[in-house]
Structure 1
Amino acid sequence: MQAIVMTATGGPEVLVPREVPRPRPAAGEVLIRAAAIPVLYPETQLRSGAFPTTTPPPMVFGFQVAGEVVDVGAGVASDLAGRLVVADTAGVGSYAEFVCASAESTTPIPAGVPVEEAAAAMMSGSVALALLETANLTGSETVLIEAGATGVGSYLIQLAREFGAAHVIATAGGATKIEHARALGADLVIDHREERWTDRIGESAPATVDVVFDSLGGASATALLAAMTPGSGRMLSYGWLTGAPAQVSAADLIPGGLTLTACAGAAWHGRVHRARADTLARVPALASAVETVLPLDEAARAHELVESRIPLGKVILRPSASA
């Protein structure tokens, strides 16, 4: 079968199409004929060496897949065979025509949901739902959603009012993304590429933010503290698109009675996984998250696109066997 092998850490060119043996499901696993493989921003960081991989190269790359279960291992219910599912791998193996994954990691794709849309929503939408549940919005609060035009942020904008946001502020980079975030439902969109963009929050009404969904991290997180509601303001930190986590200490939070929740770790990922079925059920009511579908052998090009941060939607790989 065709697969994409990460031959070393480095640029997108280290992702090389190769013929490899078709895997067989072990006990507790299923074998999936891949139909849609989402290209994730964190994958680009692993490929580049910015974050360590659990399996050293060379190895078949990839973390998530959507497709049909075609075989099951020992101990797995036989009625899973033939079902369309989304699934996580153990850290390798999804950029391939056939993918083994734990049966426990699979979530059925509801009838009527296109497999590409399910692949696009499985991570970003589930993270957004878990964040909104964690935020415990009251129905009268203002939220700030960083990087709101794409990925998790785009789902947060669309779902925030359902979960209790009264006013939605978003950030985005550049005119195209600003207009997209506005079209998704943000009341105010600020260009986070501007210097001192955090000062613009005071132009809104109300003038402070109750909840910050922080995906940028870095120094901007500290600058936002002054714009948060004293006594009840809370920041949920789940990403660092600037290259570093939120540069916030307890000494920064205590004077304003603010809180920061780190949305990471095993317990957090479990919460995200539990949100997946709800996420997939919501897909028909949400804006399409798929922007580009490329053949599997163009994985390097897909990584270039994701790293450019130009696409508004997900980049999906489609194996030739499913075309």
Structure 2
Amino acid sequence: MRRVRYHEYGGPEVLTVEETEPPEPGPGQVSLRAEAIGANYVDTKIRANAGSIFYRPLPGSPTGDVVGIVEAVGPGVDPGQVGHRVTALVDPDAYADFVLADAAWLAPVPDGLGPGPASLLTVAGPVALRVLRAGNLAPGETVLIHSGAGNIGALAIQLAKLLGAGPVIATASTAEKRKHALDLGADVAVDYTADDWAERVRAAAPGGVDLVLDAVGGAVLSEGIDLLAPMGRAVVYGAASGDLVEVPIRSLFGLRTVTGFSLLAWRAARPSEARAEMAEVAGYLADGTLRADVRAALPLTEAAEAHRLLEDRATIGRVLLVP
């Protein structure tokens, strides 16, 4: 079978296709025959070794949200899983014809759901829903969603509206992305690369923002905290900028709260709730409540091009690799 790895850090060109034997599932694992693999921006940072928080030793392999058919199960896994169409977060070796996945966190794919939306079932969808709930979003509250055209941000906009938020303010770096955020239901869209982006948010929410969702970090996070209203909350679930900014205690004296979120930690702490939210998101995607866009579907052998699309920051919707 084919798999994609890299043996040096660098640009997309370091991704190479290798021939190897299909992996055998171990205890608690299943083997999936991949139908499609959702590529994620964070893997471009890891591949480039773009800072200490992205470091992984060589040889490296991208992670991914894999949609596929269960081909075989390892010890301790129900053999009745064989033949089921599921999706899973795969790490390592997600870019491959056959992958290994944790049987405990497979998400069944509803009938008729395409590979693009299906690839959002295990990570992007549950994260978008949980960060809103971790921030205790209440109906009528103002929410600021950074990276509003990304996989998680786009779903968070829609879910925030579903949960009764208003207004929803989204940030994005290009005019096309801001239009997309508005099309998804955002009331205001702001360019967070502009020097005055925070002032534009203040103009839209003069009393402050009740909830900020941030996976950018750095100065964007610092300014977002300053935008919070009294009793406002910020939920931090990533640091795509690579800047792990320190939050000064004085910024919290206005009765503000900053909460961190990790999907893996949430699964470990509250597995039954995490599974219930996976199923909830699956229902929203299956019945069309949530819109999911696919920007490109490329052959597995074009993994480097997939990373180029992700790195140019102009991509809206999922970038899929198809074995």
**Normalised TM-score (structure 2):** 0.91
Following TM superposition, by how much is the alpha carbon of 1:269 offset from its aligned partner in structure 2, in angstroms?
5.1
Which residue matches 1:71?
A: 72
Residues 1-323 of structure 1 aligned to structure 2 (within 5 Å):
1-50=1-50, 51-53=54-56, 56-89=57-90, 91-205=91-205, 207-230=207-230, 232-254=231-253, 256-264=254-262, 266-268=264-266, 270=268, 274=275, 275-284=277-286, 285=288, 286-319=290-323
Q: Secondary structure at the match of 1:22?
A: coil
Moved more, 41-50 or 75-84: 41-50
1:142 and 1:206 in contact (8 A); partners too: no
Q: Secondary structure at the match of 1:182?
A: helix
Following TM superposition, by how much is the alpha carbon of 1:155 offset from its aligned partner in structure 2, in angstroms?
0.6
Q: Secondary structure at the match of 1:104?
A: helix
1:305 counterpart letter in structure 2: L
Distance in 2 of aligned mates of 1:13 and 1:246: 31
Q: Secondary structure at the match of 2:315?
A: coil
Identity %: 39
Change (3 A) 1:45 1:273: farther
Moved more, 2-11 or 191-200: 2-11
2:79 counterpart letter in structure 1: S
Q: Secondary structure at the match of 1:65?
A: strand
Q: Give a deviation string over 1:184-222, Cα, whole Å, max 9, x none.
A: 111111111110210112222553111111122111222
1:165 counterpart letter in structure 2: A
1:242 counterpart letter in structure 2: S
1:299 counterpart letter in structure 2: A
Change (3 A) 1:249 1:67: same
Following TM superposition, by how much is the alpha carbon of 1:265 offset from its aligned partner in structure 2, in angstroms?
7.1
Distance in 2 of aligned mates of 1:41 and 1:5: 16
Distance in 2 of aligned mates of 1:227 and 1:60: 38
Kindly report the root-mean-square deviation, in angstroms, between the aligned alpha carbons of the 2 structures: 1.9
Distance in 2 of aligned mates of 1:122 and 1:289: 16
Aligned length: 314
Following TM superposition, by how much is the alpha carbon of 1:247 offset from its aligned partner in structure 2, in angstroms?
4.1
Change (3 A) 1:38 1:265: closer
Distance in 1 of aligned mates of 2:304 and 2:267: 27
Following TM superposition, by how much is the alpha carbon of 1:297 offset from its aligned partner in structure 2, in angstroms?
0.6
2:65 and 2:120 in contact (8 A); partners too: no
Distance in 2 of aligned mates of 1:106 and 1:265: 14
Distance in 2 of aligned mates of 1:6 and 1:280: 33
Following TM superposition, by how much is the alpha carbon of 1:266 offset from its aligned partner in structure 2, in angstroms?
4.2
Q: Secondary structure at the match of 2:27?
A: coil
1:276 counterpart letter in structure 2: M
2:6 and 2:15 in contact (8 A); partners too: yes
Change (3 A) 1:202 1:63: closer
5+ long unaligned stretches in structure 2: none
Q: Secondary structure at the match of 1:165?
A: coil
5+ long unaligned stretches in structure 1: none
1:116 counterpart letter in structure 2: G
Q: Secondary structure at the match of 1:186?
A: coil
Following TM superposition, by how much is the alpha carbon of 1:277 offset from its aligned partner in structure 2, in angstroms?
2.5
Distance in 2 of aligned mates of 1:226 and 1:76: 49
Change (3 A) 1:129 1:61: same
1:300 counterpart letter in structure 2: A
2:89 and 2:122 in contact (8 A); partners too: no
2:85 and 2:109 in contact (8 A); partners too: yes
